[in-house]
Amino acid sequence: MHYNDFKFSRKIGVGKKIGILTWHYYSNFGSRLQAFALQTVLMDLGFEPIIINYQNKKFSRLNRRQRVKNIIKPILNKLLGNIKIFNGAFDFCDYIFEKDFLNQTRLINSKEELPKVAKELHAIVYGADQIWAPNVFNDIYMGAGTNVKKISYAASIGLPTISTELIEKYEFLLKKFYKISVREETGQKLLKELCGIDSSVVLDPTLLIRRDRYESIERKPSRCMDDEFVFCYFLNENNNYYENVIRILGNHNFNVYGVSLNKKDESWIKNLNEIGPREFIWFIDHAKYVFTDSYHGTIFSMIFHKDFYTFERFEKNDPINQNSRIYQLDKWFDIKDRIIGTGTFVGKKAAMNYNVFENRINVYREKSLAFLKEALREDVKV
């Protein structure tokens, strides 16, 4: 594994093995980077973290097929003059990042396999990401199948409510946790009001790592030769962001690079089909402007002090509206001027005050790390 000699001054883990159960294998830059960040923080604290490589059978099969494409595609493209044989937003570098930077157990596809892995662990940290979202409910991400100390870190419910038929399951499973933290205050409120469960609100793991540590792993892709460019990262397959981007850029004639799941955007974005998390970080770090509808796209824009704009990806009446993640970032860091609501049009905004951001993130980072250290320091019977 490649950790670039990351160091932390106050180690409390004394070599104890800590499992991480999260979404780490989805084809999404944010999912892999939040897993990497939490793993890195636990290493800093002196623990031996290992990501429990549980993969839902359905998604695991799809993932394996995609990985075959990911391995074959760059080879065939090179042999055939870079003809685009396969299209897709996430590619070979994404798979390589998982292989090189995530310390994982063997592949696990069922709940019955978990006890064999868990018996060697001091505790399991569940999170982050939207592992507790009701629309993709999976009790494995809520502690089922293991009998060790359970802690959640920045687990996200994501949606505006928990369906009635799931409330008892949430209550039953989560009451077995030693300590619970969530990523948004909306999730904290839902757990308290619907399930009678207390929780803390903490930063996403990616915000626990400082800028220079991301700079040490970022990698420049060979495709981008521009001194100044715009980077877009769009996950809404039906987005209509073009007009706002053009209004904000004005007369500037920047090349626009990016990843968009909307195929129509290829008419104005140089779509990057062959980048992974390391290249994703590089593009954000070096872009003149960043436009995104992604939670982690927003986070990394702030970490690198970018002039960025975040589109609300979901309509307010959407039953799977996940905009609460962005609103939580606004509550912490006052980014409302950078958020573009659905169906609205804006012009260029004044530069963000990143001195305020740095002062605030230091406070929230300290509180979030304090939760994690307290939860993992004490031994309790389960």
Model confidence at 245, in pLDDT bands (50, 70, 90)?
A: very high
pLDDT of 226 over the 80 cut: no
- Residues 40 and 137 reside in one and the same domain: yes
Model confidence at 302, in pLDDT bands (50, 70, 90)?
A: very high
Per-residue pLDDT tens for 29-46? 999 999 999 999 999 999
CATH number of the domain residue 188 falls in: 3.40.50
Please state the φ and ψ torsions of residue 107, each to the nearest 5 degrees. -65, 130
Q: What is the pLDDT of residue 107?
A: 93
Q: What is the pLDDT of residue 225?
A: 73
Structural domains of the chain, count: 2
- Residues 49 and 96 reside in one and the same domain: yes
Tokens in use for 121?
A: 């662990």
Model confidence at 252, in pLDDT bands (50, 70, 90)?
A: confident
- Residues 98 and 139 reside in one and the same domain: yes
- Residues 304 and 191 reside in one and the same domain: no
Please check whether residue 1 lies inside any domain of the structure. Answer: no
The mean of the pLDDT values for the chain is 87
The 8-class DSSP code of residue 97 comes to H
Please check whether residue 78 lies inside any domain of the structure. Answer: yes
Q: What is the pLDDT of residue 331?
A: 97
Q: Is the dihedral of CA 105, 106, 110, 116 positive or negative?
A: negative
Compute the distance between CA of residue 339 and CA of residue 330 in angstroms, rounded to an integer: 9
By C-alpha distance, which of 102, 223, 117, 179 is closest to 371? 179
Say how many CA atoms lie within 13 Å of 328 toward its Cβ: 25
- What residues have CB less than 8 Å from 2, skipping those under 6 apart? 100, 101, 217
Q: What is the pLDDT of residue 60?
A: 54
Please check whether residue 214 lies inside any domain of the structure. Answer: no
Compute the distance between CA of residue 142 and CA of residue 125 in angstroms, rounded to an integer: 10
pLDDT of 305 over the 50 cut: yes
pLDDT of 147 over the 70 cut: yes
- What residues have CB less than 8 Å from 224, skipping those under 6 apart? 257, 283, 286
